[in-house]
Chains A and B, each alone.
Chain A
Amino acid sequence: MALSKEHLLKVYEDMLLIRRFEEEVEVYAKNGTIPGFIHLSIGQEAAQAGVVDVLKDTDYKFPDHRGHGAIVLSSKPEERKRCMSEIFAKATGINGGRGGSMHVHDLSVRNMGFNGIQGSTVVTALGTAFNSVYRKNDDVTVVFMGDGTLGEGTCHESLNMSATWKLPLVYVLINNQYAISTHYTEAHPQKQLSTWGLGYEVPSMTIDGNDIEEVIEVTQQAVDRARRGEGPTLIEMMSYRWQGHFSGDPAAYRPDGELEAWKEKDPLKLAKEKLQEKHGVSDAEIQAISDRVEVEIAEYVKFSLESPVPKPEDAVKYVYTDREVEGR
């Protein structure tokens, strides 16, 4: 399905925003400003931007641990800088500095957050999907997962239950080829991981996860099916992460030339070519998008750097809903 020029321009800008977001995060992770581990999603923008583009604010989203892009785009524009300041461990962060890179959530747009345990959200997502059935509304749940996630036993329990109960759930499996250093073909018997869903009689397909038009088309069909009450879909989106597993991982396990070959399939490059060749978008229009994104990102970075750190003693808040925990 070809997108309209306006639609493609919009998602191109989305993708550029999350690409630049990640590049800035990488700068500040490498120079030590951002504490802890950072899992970057550069190279996977089409899968994230395309899926979020299809969803409503009231749909439940469970991003994966490489999900900054999906998180940022789920958030309202005015909240996006708070996604970055959360990663910077600041008090203004969307989780007040409690969660960081792996736990950014925003309940106002039903971004339910990730969880540092692979395969955990695939069963938590059953609950939000179940809620839609219980309350008889048409909100859909989308859970992002990676090729590595599929090694977890919870994936079996989740797909088995969602398929049996026809829950409105879409599994977006971004196959970026590697679970840290282990290629998916070394850890799984299937050539295409989507075939795993067929055993549960769940419609399952493998698509080019770097082609935003294909991502949007297939996701829309899966979401529509879920909204109609026809049950879950598994979509394997083939992609590639350009960085190592975490920022700083040299990724020496990848064969020579592999990264370069995938960079030829850069989702931004593909979308830009379509815009220019099929829709006649000029270099100046592309530059204007880029300029807008730069202004936006510069604001996020400034906000993140200037925000105060959280009060250490606030660490004892919110352990329980109804009782205090002792501080120092």
Chain B
Amino acid sequence: MARIISFSKALNEAMTQEMERDENVFILGEDVAKMGGDFGITTGIWERWPNRAFDTALSESAITGLCCGASVCGLRPVAELMFADFITVCYDQLVNNAAKLNYMYQGEASAQMVVRAVTGGGIRCAYHHSQCIEPWLMNIPGLVIVAPATPYEAKGLLVASIRNNNPVVFLEHKHLYNVKGEVPEELYEIPLYEAHVEREGTDITIVAAMSMLKFAQKAADEMAAKGISVEIINPRTIFPLDKETIKESVAKTGRLIVVQEGPKVMGYGAEIGAMLGEELFEYLKAPIKRVTSLDTPVPFAPGMEDYVLPHYEDVITACNEVMAY
């Protein structure tokens, strides 16, 4: 039965119900046990399972290394990176180890682990607590990057990620934690590697993940008032990307806008744009547009941060431009 709960609660429920179901699942990270996590996402888990929830030293390499070793023994670790930016201090374990284990072990064992990473800007915490890190991981075959945009997705995608046998970096956008939505009480999975068509349309395709989905939805409403029909694709899994769903949409609309929170250079927008240029060139009716942050670190002062992050008005401008081309 579905109720209205927050994105945070949906994540907590996914972990709790998976731990009830499978005793190989455990959580670890900085302050995830007794405190329930810096953002409160793991609240209540340690109280129920004091031997399956572990506070660690500030040692991201040890945390992710432990996940790799434990997962090849058949356990299913769910680690928390308090801020996704900290991935730089455990990058080796994710890139050189987790992503390669199934390949090295030829399918006999794999890094069946989830690293939950708190991502994104807008909380006035400057460049070490605000970055969108997905481009840093998107050219590492073997890794999976999952990016929910709604409470319903938060639960279903986290359950699927915990059950998946590949190493999953699960991105949780800070701005979504308090968003509420309908979430079934029972366990369910949303399949990985499948994008979701959030709204059907015929004139423009907008691809938008995580917190950027709300920009796309608002823009679609605004353009609809002007008689322009926008189709919205939410990738859900950012890597490996569901290319087919995006191609089908753009083959229909002929126009693409990608809205991504991180810097423009080499983001998922770049990959989607290159893919369409290669495979769908003759269908394009207008140049591909990207609405992104500026190519700067994320600054602290609110006015500066707002200047750098993507602006909603830029989405409308992009829509008008692709229609006018």
Contacts and interface: CB of A to CB of B under 8 A. Distances in A.
Interface of A: 60, 95-96, 98-99, 103, 105, 107, 112-113, 115-117, 120, 122-131, 134-135, 141, 153-154, 157-158, 160-161, 164, 317-323, 325
Nearest to A156: B59
Nearest to B100: A115
B297 interface: no
A241 B26 CA distance: 42
A19 to B, nearest CB: 27
B103 A128 contact: no
B279 to A, nearest CB: 12
Contacts of B104: 95, 98-99, 103, 105, 113
A134 B70 CA distance: 9
Interface string B32-72: 00000000000000000001000011010110111111111
Nearest to B240: A323
Given A123-B66, A126-B65, A127-B67, A323 B102 contact: no
26 contacts: A95-B104, A105-B104, A107-B105, A115-B97, A115-B100, A120-B92, A124-B66, A124-B68, A125-B65, A126-B62, A126-B66, A128-B73, A130-B69, A153-B61, A154-B61, A154-B65, A157-B65, A158-B62, A158-B65, A160-B57, A164-B57, A318-B103, A319-B102, A319-B142, A321-B164, A322-B166
B75 A131 contact: yes
Contact of A157 (B59, B71, B74, B144): B59
B72 A320 contact: no
B107 interface: yes
A91 B105 CA distance: 14
B69 A129 contact: yes
Contacts of B166: 320-322
B59 A161 contact: yes
Contact of A95 (B59, B65, B106): B106
A105 B105 contact: yes
Contacts of A320: 102, 141-142, 144, 166, 240
A235 B16 CA distance: 41
A96 B56 CA distance: 37
Nearest to A167: B66
Nearest to A158: B62
Contacts of A103: 104
Interface in B115-173: 141-142, 144, 164-166
Contact of A128 (B26, B61, B70): B70
A118 B71 CA distance: 21
Contact of B69 (A99, A126, A318): A126
Given A120-B65, A153-B61, A322-B164, A127 B106 contact: no
Contacts of A123: 61-62, 64-66, 69, 93
A124 B97 contact: yes
Contacts of B108: 107
B107 A131 contact: no
B110 interface: yes
Contacts of A125: 65, 69
B294 interface: no
Interface in B208-239: none
A130 B92 contact: no
B109 interface: yes
Nearest to A99: B104
A109 to B, nearest CB: 12
Given A117-B92, A135-B73, A154-B62, 19 more contacts: A98-B103, A112-B69, A112-B72, A116-B96, A120-B92, A120-B93, A123-B61, A124-B68, A125-B65, A127-B66, A127-B70, A127-B71, A127-B77, A128-B73, A134-B26, A160-B59, A317-B107, A318-B102, A323-B240
B283 interface: no
A323 B144 CA distance: 11
Nearest to B112: A321
A87 to B, nearest CB: 15
